[in-house]
Chain A
Amino acid sequence: MRKLNKVAKLAAISAAVAVVLAGCSSSSEETATDTGAAAGAASGTVRVLMEGVPDTDIVSGLLADFNAEYPDVKVEIETASYDQMRDKYVASFTAAEPTYDLAILDNPWVGDFAKAGFVQPLDDLIAASDGYDYADFTAPLRAIGESDGKVYGVPFYNYALGLIYRSDLVTAEPASLDELAATAKSLTTADRAGIAMQPQKGYKAFEEWGNYLFAAGGSLYTDGKVKLTTPEAKKALETYIAMYKSSAPKDSLNWGFDDALRSVSSDKSVMMVSYNWMLPTLNNPDGDSGALAGKFKLGTMPGGKQVLGSWHWAIPTNSNASDAAWAFVSWISSKAGEAKRVTAGGAPTRTSVFSDAAATAKDPAYFATIAKILSNAEPLCQGANCDEMINAVGTELNAAFAGEKSVDDALAAAEEQANKIQAE
């Protein structure tokens, strides 16, 4: 028994030592100041999950530059497909020991994650960072990262939509929704569709149709409520359905982003409504477009307004390395960091970058169009329960595309469900 007691004591002492050591090691992980972006002062390991997209590769490519200024901060980037990201983040945010110290948030997540307390307000960190110039981010992008008057995310990159078209086939950018429909129809042949559409149920259906709604002169919110039973929404939906029938690839009701991109890059469609940063990908001579590279152009949606999407940097409340994370965020999203990122091919978020000749030298016309796009763009959802609301509206729209519901019924149901979901 005495021997057993000795063993127990030894185990208890070992455990206590282990706990103390673990505490020491944890605190040695991060020895940063509370003010955040004090250059070079922060230290620690910042683990972040990012989507496997070109903008992530660009960030990875800039880590060496970051470490030249912050040698004691190690940024570890894990990549995943979009479908995995949110679930992995939620698991980390709710865990006692987080998997990630820094997060990137898609715009529909920001409001919910802020209200849930998953991510921390950044106002103090922004205020303490000299020369950060938060107001330089374009206004619609700033609005997405804010909730209840506080900043929870600073813009990483935008994915506002626009009209991508073949400049050798489209002579003039359509100026109205009717013109877009007429152009698509006139370009449709037996071998090539006028426009590759993305009517897949849920997010894609709503995201694409939202641009048609804006092009018809409509809006999503009126007095803080979703309002879709309007003449503009009806015209947008009727035009969308007519275009799907007359000018989209045959039997493409389940098409999403990938399908449309493949169709356009393989000369099977002339136009598509897609993310602005797809243009460099399509025009890449070593990419999938082959001989078509260089023939694609980006325009605003007819009427000039489009759906805005964006990713934001955010720091989880349970981050083990908040200061080190902010050191990285404030570096990569600073004016200088943004210029480097955009020069390397990243999608812009700051107003100042559009007047940076070096950053926009590759294709000034393309950047001028993005500046126009970002000056008049709106996200699909504002407020709470955005994922659910977007999915509900996208399901009703898809039912109308499929002929399962009339235009009026689908819009009425979408409006009712959207408001009910957002009120909960």
Chain B
Amino acid sequence: MSFRLKLMLPLLAVFTASVGYPLLYAFYLSLTNYKITARYNTRLVGLKQYIATLQDPNYWSALQVTGTFVLLAVFIEFWLGLFIALALQKQTRIRNFTRSFLLTPMFVTPIAIGLMFRFLLNQQLGVIPTFMAKFGLSYDFFGPGKALYSIVLIDVWQWTPFMVLLLLAGLEGLSRSPFEAAKVDGASAFFTFRKITLPLLVPVISVAVLIRALDAMKVFEYVFAITRGGPAIQTMTIQYYTYQTGIQFYRLGLASAMSYLLLIIVMVIVVILFRRIESTRKNP
């Protein structure tokens, strides 16, 4: 065995134990009818759980809800994050304080954020609706057709700082010479941003958006703390649905099949995104 392989062995061992085994076991479970409360009746059922998942309208609905959530949340977080990062880059005074202050929401556990917003947005007792009422405004944050957007805004509140962090690091790492040349040539601020800043920032943007999108797909805590998937199934995200199926209703076999299908879908999206990023990098 080569020395390089030997050096990799500890990592491979940890990876196999912590990722490989759960993945393989979950795959095995997905081929069975495993139910926690009927463990001794477990048998192999082939692809039955996968077929049941594909035929489950609630699964597709949950995927759609999750997709909408991810697209909206990451879109807003990216543009808002970029705007704040550009502003912070220009800041000269109390930089460290501003930056650490802006990052605060990121350090709070999402379940606490969910509970906090549940009461902040409570129509009768919440601070925000009370404040809005002073201006004659009223909005049913968790009503039909609105709850998902409220969850998106909560995610934006918590995770825009993450975008700021990455984009600011990217901005500060850019070479100054193209910007100085543009200034000498009399380019406008918007032109400089569109033609120099954004293209140079593409690698950082790609990574930031990808990480955030994958993280946003795991949205669970806000739903659990605030809406439980309601009204009806309007905020039933894929993670919450899988949790309900596997943990709340004990159907681990079915939940494993749901997770594997999600894994396949996510992997396809990630591969497509990476290819696009690669081609953009080669042909800017």
Contact = CB atoms under 8 A, between A and B. Distances in A.
Contact of B231 (A116, A117, A266, A402): A402
Contacts of A399: 231-233
Given A94-B39, A263-B125, A402 B228 contact: no
Interface residues of A, number: 39
A330 interface: no
B141 interface: yes
Interface string A89-131: 0100010000000000000000011011110000000000000
B62 to A, nearest CB: 12
B143 A253 contact: yes
A26 B234 CA distance: 51
Contact of B123 (A87, A118, A249): A249
Given A112-B37, A254-B227, A262-B125, 14 more contacts: A87-B247, A116-B38, A200-B227, A200-B230, A201-B227, A202-B229, A249-B124, A250-B124, A253-B142, A254-B118, A254-B231, A395-B232, A401-B231, A404-B144
Interface of B is mostly: loop
A404 B228 CA distance: 16
B185 to A, nearest CB: 55
Interface string B168-205: 00000000000000000000000000000000000000
B249 interface: yes
A259 interface: yes
B250 to A, nearest CB: 7
Interface string B143-187: 110010000000000000000000000000000000000000000
Give 8 closest A-B pairs by Cβ, nearest first. Answer: A201-B230, A251-B140, A402-B231, A399-B232, A116-B37, A251-B123, A254-B142, A388-B249
Given A251-B143, A263-B124, A113 B232 contact: no
Contacts of A266: 125
A269 B129 CA distance: 17
Nearest to B233: A395
A193 B36 CA distance: 43
B143 A395 contact: no
A50 to B, nearest CB: 20
Given A116-B36, A402-B230, A403-B144, A250 B244 contact: no
Contacts of B143: 251, 253, 402
Interface in B218-264: 224, 226-234, 244, 247-250
A148 to B, nearest CB: 14
A281 B202 CA distance: 58
Given A402-B230, A402-B231, A388 B147 contact: no
A385 B249 contact: yes
8 contacts: A83-B224, A250-B123, A254-B230, A391-B244, A395-B230, A402-B143, A402-B232, A404-B234
A115 B37 contact: yes
Interface string B37-78: 111100000000000000000000000000000000000000
A67 B232 CA distance: 50
A136 to B, nearest CB: 31
Given A262-B125, A398-B231, A399-B231, A388 B248 contact: yes
A387 interface: yes
A387 B244 CA distance: 10
Interface string A294-337: 00000000000000000000000000000000000000000000
Contacts of B122: 259
